[in-house]
Structure 1
């Protein structure tokens, strides 16, 4: 009789948020810890063993925490039977090694955790390669675990349960060789993306990019207006690889709508660089829809983070932006009404619920109006009896080329949506 396979026990993770008193820009500790716990929940195979805010006057070079706090936390971790500690902040390689030895646990800092999540979620070839590149950049100076996990075929980087110590020099060579290999592969993928972008440019519909803090509701909005089935969950980084769909807005223009990876505070610099190619759709966008979770207590701070990252990516102020105040359905009645009124009085701000559909129609009308004068190319077939229409096209100066056929004329025109609508009413 076959014996059932025993499932691997999930890693029991304890989340610590160091509340650094000397950091003037530090976030509210309880909110920061809540986000860190959400990050932990976004990683498969993790079971929450506990969480705590750790007040910290200043970080200690060797262990991050002072000796008394080290002992106190060690007892807490032992009581919780934790075998993984997630520290919501930067941890140096020396601190990581020392803490792991002292507490006899595996340890990940914020950057390592986000890299793990991205590795698990990446689906496209480019996404997988970019995550690997970011992980290599991050871990090159650490070299605390063997790198055999890089040969694995599926998600996860192995930071959580990797094997033990290995030869540093051999590791460094292995990492450098991997970086060279991945760069070559990425160059090929980027060339393919460039060809795809060039092909889209021949169908010159304007590009509308959805951006926003992770879990702001971008994918829910994307699904609502396009009818797509992009993964939309109440989970950080539910969307990783970019998704694009053609969208016909009523009787108005067609646009290309792009759903992008969510941003987050303290996004690892390695990932910003690695995902620059993925975010090129934002750089080339004709309109950016900045989706905010207006019900979140830290919505203003999240909006600032998104703006900073967009600026860092090189998105200029000349690119039009709409601000989408999403999740108004999660606000209490009076506050919901106040937010809706504020949005209605402001240009370029729309209060909506992507989940219920409230406010979507007004948003789409504004997007359509934005591109009413956007010029696009079209090929028309006219019979010899369509002299009036043909003359109108030349009067409007929209004809790019004309070829006579047996039945009449083939014309390539470059015109605005208004001109296209007027032509069809002739």
Structure 2
């Protein structure tokens, strides 16, 4: 299918900072590129408030209409969420398909969801977005055809019966409940087995999947596109001391994430709130990296994850020319493509963990090989030597406060 030509339209309100407005527009252009389109023009307007009927001012609409005809544009995308009325009025006036930022993000998610759960979550978010916008959308729906903004439920003929959509929403919620139940059981089993979990989070396209793949020897999707990873992946890795962890790659965060999507993906993002430690990956070469960091931390707070220890990983150092000042500590600067930097990173993870853990030193008898093995894999073990005089293994290291092996430590100290 030929690349669709797109015009982006945006309203800047007085309370919006210039940097934030500019970065949200650049992001929208990247999103359109990820969806397979090409933005040929961007038209903005300063307004005290959004126009209730047309989103943008009526005078500006004539200018946009002329640009659409001049550049033979296929699609208009607004930077803010549109009401059903605004979407319909703009579509009628321009005689083109009109979608908003939320629809575009949902469309990308629909194209990238691979697992059954991911597909169900996207469909649920799309239907919840569509439901309040159905009334009087006959012309809009007939104009849909194919293209950006029509993936997911739009691939089949969009059903305009509200009752049918409500039933489908209920059905998806029931099925997702089952999936969540299975995920919870899996999590409980992991917790019971005392496996330490690290979640990789970050703004979309910060290099999370590249880092995950390099650390785990995995082959999850790596692309210079937004939302390359949608379904969370978990792999086991071993740190230099022998300490074993589970590492999880998560979906990228973004400004103005549609509320229906945050709700639908809460179970996916719960992988983060269940983690013991967070690696916050930042694209340090991005001009808006401070804004990106704020967005991620705000979302972590909303997920109830703000109390989990965090190591900020400033990635893509190979693309920085100026001096870089880290915004958060503890932190490390790396390039996920450099093997040496990955070695430094895993060392730094252990360094940060021991700040939160307790030091121990004990002796284990010769017949306690199983226990020794557990200390090697479930704690950060720094010393393991055979004491010939006592015929015991003298071991020392760091252990989590509430780890079951703490009982052994107390008994043998």
Q: Matched residues in 1 for 2:349 and 2:121: separation? A: 32
Alpha carbons 1:206, 1:371 under 8 Å: kept: no
Q: Residue 302 in 1 paired to residue 292 in 2?
A: yes
Q: Matched residues in 1 for 2:269 and 2:299: separation? A: 11
Tell me the residue number matched to 2:27: 35
Q: Matched residues in 1 for 2:58 and 2:328: separation? A: 54
Q: After superposing the two structures, state which structure 1 stretch, 23-32 or 181-190, moved more.
A: 23-32
Q: After superposing the two structures, state which structure 1 stretch, 171-180 or 137-146, moved more.
A: 137-146
Shift of 1:158: 5.6
Tell me the residue number matched to 1:11: 4
Tell me the residue number matched to 1:405: none
Tell me the residue number matched to 1:76: 67
1:196 to 169, 186, 199: 186
Aligned length: 373
Q: Residue 127 in 1 paired to residue 118 in 2?
A: yes
Q: Matched residues in 2 for 1:347 and 1:275: separation? A: 29
Show structure 2 runs of 5+ residues with no match. 145-149, 359-363, 387-391, 395-413
The C-alpha deviation readout for 1:31-64, integer Å capped at 9, x for no partner, is: 33221111001114x3x15121412313211111
Q: Taking structure 1 as reference, are residues 93 and 416 closer, same or farther at Cα in structure 2, changes over 3 Å only?
A: same
Shift of 1:97: 0.2
Q: Residue 389 in 1 paired to residue 366 in 2?
A: yes
Q: Residue 312 in 1 paired to residue 318 in 2?
A: no
Tell me the residue number matched to 2:274: 284
Shift of 1:29: 4.2
Alpha carbons 1:352, 1:358 under 8 Å: kept: no
TM-score by length of 2: 0.81
Tell me the residue number matched to 1:3: none
Show structure 1 runs of 5+ residues with no match. 1-7, 150-154, 376-386, 400-409
Shift of 1:30: 3.9
**SS of residue matched to 1:277:** helix
Q: After superposing the two structures, state which structure 1 stretch, 308-317 or 296-305, moved more.
A: 308-317
Shift of 1:65: 1.8
Shift of 1:9: 3.8
Q: Matched residues in 1 for 2:329 and 2:2: separation? A: 53
What is the RMSD of the two structures over their aligned residues, measured on CA atoms? 3.2
**SS of residue matched to 1:271:** helix
TM-score by length of 1: 0.79
Alpha carbons 2:198, 2:245 under 8 Å: kept: yes
**SS of residue matched to 2:266:** coil
Tell me the residue number matched to 1:324: 313
Alpha carbons 1:33, 1:53 under 8 Å: kept: no
Q: Residue 179 in 1 paired to residue 169 in 2?
A: yes
Tell me the residue number matched to 1:56: 46
The C-alpha deviation readout for 1:128-164, integer Å capped at 9, x for no partner, is: 11111111111111012669x9xxxxx92365x8868
Q: Taking structure 1 as reference, are residues 93 and 415 closer, same or farther at Cα in structure 2, changes over 3 Å only?
A: closer
**SS of residue matched to 2:14:** coil
Q: Taking structure 1 as reference, are residues 162 and 101 closer, same or farther at Cα in structure 2, changes over 3 Å only?
A: farther
Alpha carbons 2:45, 2:60 under 8 Å: kept: no
Shift of 1:391: 7.6
Tell me the residue number matched to 1:140: 131
1:355 to 329, 337, 353: 337
